[in-house]
């Protein structure tokens, strides 16, 4: 099956700093990737759709200036949480759909202290 690799798997940062999360498709090219946020015991909330070579499409209520998405190549999308605050602490997961089903990265657990 297709492999999506996400890094880092966990990160702790200080309030006010920025954190970059990488999502790579290892054995396929992804013109589109998806970024989700998941709170404990909650569902996956789609934050944005990352499009290679163009601007990301953000879901309603997601601040695009806070969650910067870059999709500069067909195998890499990055999510940068800027000026992170404790309320940004969450589990962030990326996915891609080279076939009808979605393949997810391992997820990144972000803790802002």
Partner 1 sequence: GQQVMQIPQYQHVQEGEDFTTYCNSSTTLSNIQWYKQRPGGHPVFLIQLVKSGEVKKQKRLTFQFGEAKKNSSLHITATQTTDVGTYFCAGESGGGADGLTFGKGTHLIIQP
In this chain, which stretch among 18-26, 67-75, 76-84, 99-107 interacts with partner 1, using CB under 8 A? 99-107
Interface with partner 1, residue 34, by CB under 8 A: yes
Q: How many amino acids of this chain bind partner 1 (CB under 8 A)?
A: 20
Least distance CB 26 / partner 1 (angstroms)? 15
Does 44 sit near partner 1 (CB under 8 A)? Answer: yes
CA distances from 31 to 4, 49, 75 (A): 13, 10, 8
Q: How far is the CB of 44 from partner 1 (least distance, A)?
A: 5
Binding site for partner 1 (CB under 8 A): 31-32, 34, 41-44, 46, 49, 93, 95, 97, 100-107
């Amino acid at each position: 099956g297709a492999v999506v690799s996400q890094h880092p798997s966990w990160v702790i940062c200080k309030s006010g700093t920025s954190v970059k999360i990488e999502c790579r498709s290892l054995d396929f090219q992804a013109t589109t990737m998806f970024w989700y946020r998941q709170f404990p015991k909650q569902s996956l909330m789609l934050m944005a759709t990352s499009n290679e070579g163009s601007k990301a499409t953000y879901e309603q209520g997601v601040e695009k200036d806070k969650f910067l998405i870059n999709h500069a190549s067909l195998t890499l999308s990055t999510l940068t949480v800027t000026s992170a605050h404790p309320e940004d602490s969450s589990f962030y997961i990326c996915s891609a759909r080279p076939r009808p089903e979605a393949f997810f990265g391992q997820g990144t657990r972000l803790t802002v202290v």
